[in-house]
Amino acid sequence: MPSVHSYFHKGEKTLKEEQTAPVIVLVSGGADSVALFLRLISHVPVALSRGKTPEAISKERLHVLHVNHGIRGLSAQEDAEFVEELSARYGISCTVREVPAPAYALEHGIGLEAAARELRYGAAEKLASCLAKATQTRPQDVRILTAHNADDVAETFFMRALTGSGAAGLSAIPTWRGRIVRPFLHVTHEQNCEYVRLKGESWCEDETNRDQAYFRNFVRHALISPAQTRDAHAVDNVVRTSEILAQENAYLEGVVTKIWPGLLKQSGNHVLAFDAKKMNALDIVLARRVLKRAFSKLAQDPRVRFESRHIDAVLELVSKEKGTISLPGELFAEVSYGYLTLTRATFSPAQAGWLSLPGFRAVSLNAEVYAQILALPKGADPLYLAKKAALLKKPTALFDYAALGKPLRLWIGNAQPGDSMRPYGMNGHSKRVSSVMREAHIPDALSQDVVVVKTEPDGEVLALLGVRQSEIAKVSEKTTSLLVIQKEG
């Protein structure tokens, strides 16, 4: 437990840690990163967190990171030496990392630019963790500064527009994202070049920046440069448009957050099910955003790209009220029985096993099944309690514990081929579980989330939690003890 002093002064300690935490500066050797470096050592104030007052960063906190992506051979080695010499001249520690971007791009099936970016940020995150440990600083207080500028914002805007992005993709590059800070997004590349010249320093020219085989370079030279020739304020105008879109995007995302609970009918590790009728009536602008958020929640690989055509294809199914479609990232969409179900193909089914009575058992990463035995007091109405349980939102099953034979355990898991049960109200007639699911309008994708309760692994089904219960050991007026089984999560 904290002492009185530490409890009431914990805010001061946190603030002090934030003000002394290491700050990593990504320096490639180009004009923009050199300008960033020079501004920082010249004590130009920087806001290291959203809402925080800009502050000058002491030299002791700065640590330069240069990443050689293994693309440019000897010239890349010369860039590394340039950055090391620049850092040493100003008394700033410097780390150089070499990463195999071409091999990484080939292995993961992505472009060279994307591979270099992932490896660069990965190296920065690793260094941040090492510096936090070495300086006994909270990892979340370490910052990684990059030299993104206004030209980068404009280039990214056009790149995403050409590939069919919506408002979110066209929004301005964020100044803060996690530990990463981009403090000079309002400054143009030419202003950075001029700043470095005024400081009497030089920079390295990356010859690959002229190669228009790279998408960003094509946009820079074929679109941005001609636009600036026609209007000197072209980049500023695009940045302003991007910022407006970012504000509008934030507002719409807030609306989606509010309506999400009313649309979502069921969620799990591998599945999201929405009310298809409500989705069909939803404004298409919001419906697209709901799907985009759903895709991002289900996709395991953040590199998987969902385009507007994928979103509209799913919404077309919603408008037709039935159908199935495959999506990137091993996702599937199905509209049936009033549900829009989005499913990831690779998932872990409910973990089968014995449920102790009483006791609980995890059936997935975020769901558990609980069993309770309740002795009814004299005068209690068991049938009334059974009716009340049927109204609960949690999947629940009630049994006459004595009529069940007072077992010490039951088997829980997923429905298996050939499973059958004697559903309540059918006078003891048997029915296949698959038929019971279909009659309850449970889409195939959601059936994997239904917990099946059995007497034995190969025994008769007692209940499909939240769907149907069997006639076995049903609650009656003579019931004196209840077995209550519920699924949480």
The pLDDT value given to residue 7: 52
pLDDT of residue 9: 55
What pLDDT does residue 364 have? 67
Domains 14-241 and 268-344 share a fold: no
pTM of the model: 0.66
Residue/partner pairs of 166-170 with CB below 8 Å, 24 or more apart:
166/288, 166/292, 166/308, 167/245, 167/248, 167/249, 167/252, 168/249, 168/253, 168/292, 170/241, 170/242, 170/245
Fold of 14-241: Rossmann fold (3.40.50)
Tokens read off for 268: 């799990």
**What confidence score (pLDDT) does residue 15 get?**
53
**Residue 22: how many CA atoms within 13 Å on its side-chain side?**
25
pLDDT, position 445: 67
> How is the chain split into domains, by residue range?
14-241, 268-344, 353-488
For the four alpha carbons of 363, 365, 366 and 372, in that order, the dihedral sign comes to: positive
- Exposed / middle / buried, residue 34 (Cβ in 10 Å: 0-12, 13-18, 19+): buried
Q: What is the pLDDT of residue 392?
A: 66
45, amino acid identity: P
Q: What CATH class has 353-488?
A: alpha beta
Residues of the chain where predicted confidence (pLDDT) is lower than 70: 1-18, 269, 345-351, 364-366, 389-393, 445, 489
> Which pLDDT score, from 0 to 100, does residue 120 have?
96
The architecture (CATH level 2) of 268-344 comes to 2-Layer Sandwich (3.30)
φ, ψ for residue 232, nearest 5 deg: -65, -20
In this structure, what token pair is assigned to residue 302? 């953040």
Q: Which amino acid, one-letter code, is at 233?
A: H
